[in-house]
Structure 1
Amino acid sequence: MTIPGRAFDAVLSDLDNVIRFYDMAELEQREAEAGLPPGSTAEVAFAPENDMPLMRGEITKERWVETIARGLAGRVPLERGRELGNVLAETKFWADETVVGLLRDARAAGLPVLLVTNATPWLADDLALLGLTGEDGLFDAVLSSADLGVTKPDPRIYREAVRRAGVAADRCLFVDDRRENVDAAVALGMRGLLYREPADLAAVLAPVVYPRSA
């Protein structure tokens, strides 16, 4: 529903590096023990040829871990590579409560809030661990690349998000920490926010969610 005077009528948000953040300390310790510089495992794991099949739901967690192990072969023994891959796959994470609070306020103000994320096939379990499902659910809809088989910035995932939001593309605010994903949303007519910190989101939500204080 379009509300006169509002800049947008739905919020479409990314997950990682906007809502969810990871604690990489254990992985970095294991990498140091293996004689690897920090970030070595992630560099292999998130290379497009290894990461994108997972994000599209084409491979399992176990298969992903195996590709990580083989990608690290020659630097560490295969079994050590599997160990590092499993540590990465099970890395602890948390939700930024400031951002969660802002999105809850947006929903309370009548704006649909949708999650639009390049995600693993076990996203539902992760959202439950974050406390963002069930009675305390944060999202009106969850669009996962692993379920849809397409990843941002493919326009198809954005068009499906707009359809589920129930408003026109130009009435959607799209929030993401990656420039190419924001640019793709803007190209479809959405308002884009390149996220860096909670203050960025608070500033753009204020006139819509807290109009009397903006």
Structure 2
Amino acid sequence: MDARKWVLFDVGGVLEIVDDDAWQELWWQRWCARTGIPRPEFDARVAGAQLPPIDIVAGREAEFWKGLGAALDLESADQDAMRADFWDAYCGQANTDLIEYARSLRDRAGVAILSNSADGAREEEERRFGFSQIFEPICYSHEQGVNKPDPQAYLLALEKLGADAADVFFVDDHRFALDGAARVGIRGILHRDNAATIAAIEEFLAG
């Protein structure tokens, strides 16, 4: 096992400034209005399209967007616009201060990512934020095949870290994700602001 301590970060709502609980519904409403399809019909068309579950499968992003575009009768340009708008909403803005703090930790601890995700997130977030220059490993749900708070999500991350749960500190903006981490012995903090999160990380590293 790796004897280092590790800090494991969620992405949306932590490393990215985005309202994880609102952006998807707002994006859905935006495209319901843009297509002019009444919401019940919009939802029914999408449900009937049998789209791949891109939060827990990789390599099917193109199939997902093609199927969604077909279900909504979108022209190619509108399909591209919908996908681009999705990733803009998904990624939000960089939490620059916390990202740079994570970068500063690399001489003192391992820094890694564990995030529920969508197929394509690795490429989009790398293009926008260059996460691979700071975090290693990056554990995405669509690549691991399981979402938080399933215990397997954390166990797979621990395996990639080569670390014991007691040596890992997890930062997430959702209580359910922290509860899942606690079930396998990983401590953490519910992220609400950078100052409190950084203070908690420093306390963990000093312990």
TM over 0.5: yes
2:136 matched residue in structure 1: 140
1:164 counterpart = 2:160: yes
Q: How many angstroms does 1:17 deviate by?
A: 0.9
Residues of 1 paired with 2:52 and 2:9: CA distance?
20
Residues of 2 paired with 1:53 and 1:11: CA distance?
29
1:6 matched residue in structure 2: none
Return the structure number with greater helix share. 2
Residue identity matched to 1:97: T
2:179 matched residue in structure 1: 183
For the residue of structure 2 that corresponds to 1:79, the secondary structure is: coil
2:74 matched residue in structure 1: 79
Q: How many angstroms does 1:105 deviate by?
A: 2.4
Residues of 2 paired with 1:112 and 1:192: CA distance?
15
Residue identity matched to 2:123: D
Are the structure 2 counterparts of residues 33 and 14 from structure 1 closer, same or farther at C-alpha, using a change threshold of 3 Å? same
2:64 matched residue in structure 1: 64
Q: How many angstroms does 1:208 deviate by?
A: 4.8
Are the structure 2 counterparts of residues 175 and 67 from structure 1 closer, same or farther at C-alpha, using a change threshold of 3 Å? farther
Of stretches 179-188 and 118-127 in structure 1, the one that deviates more from structure 2 is: 118-127
Which stretches in structure 1 are left out of the alignment for 5+ residues?
4-8
Residues of 2 paired with 1:103 and 1:142: CA distance?
13
Residues 102, 111 of structure 2: 8 Å contact kept: yes
**How big is each residue's C-alpha offset from its partner over 1:97-149, in whole Å with a ceiling of 9 and x where there is no partner?**
111022122223x2111111112222331232233246xx1112111111121
**How big is each residue's C-alpha offset from its partner over 1:69-109, in whole Å with a ceiling of 9 and x where there is no partner?**
68xx8xxx64389577434334263311111022122223x
Residues 169, 201 of structure 2: 8 Å contact kept: no
Residue identity matched to 1:125: E
Q: How many angstroms does 1:190 deviate by?
A: 0.9
Residues of 2 paired with 1:59 and 1:124: CA distance?
12
Residues 52, 64 of structure 2: 8 Å contact kept: no
Residues of 2 paired with 1:195 and 1:22: CA distance?
13
Are the structure 2 counterparts of residues 127 and 82 from structure 1 closer, same or farther at C-alpha, using a change threshold of 3 Å? closer
Q: How many angstroms does 1:29 deviate by?
A: 6.6
Q: CA RMSD in A?
A: 3.7
Q: How many angstroms does 1:154 deviate by?
A: 1.6
Residues of 2 paired with 1:104 and 1:124: CA distance?
18
Residues of 1 paired with 2:180 and 2:110: CA distance?
21
Residue identity matched to 2:124: D
TM-score by length of 2: 0.71
2:190 matched residue in structure 1: 194
For the residue of structure 2 that corresponds to 1:143, the secondary structure is: strand
Paired residues, number: 189
Of stretches 154-163 and 124-133 in structure 1, the one that deviates more from structure 2 is: 124-133
1:94 matched residue in structure 2: 93
Of stretches 123-132 and 180-189 in structure 1, the one that deviates more from structure 2 is: 123-132
Are the structure 2 counterparts of residues 79 and 117 from structure 1 closer, same or farther at C-alpha, using a change threshold of 3 Å? same
Residues of 1 paired with 2:162 and 2:56: CA distance?
25
TM-score by length of 1: 0.69
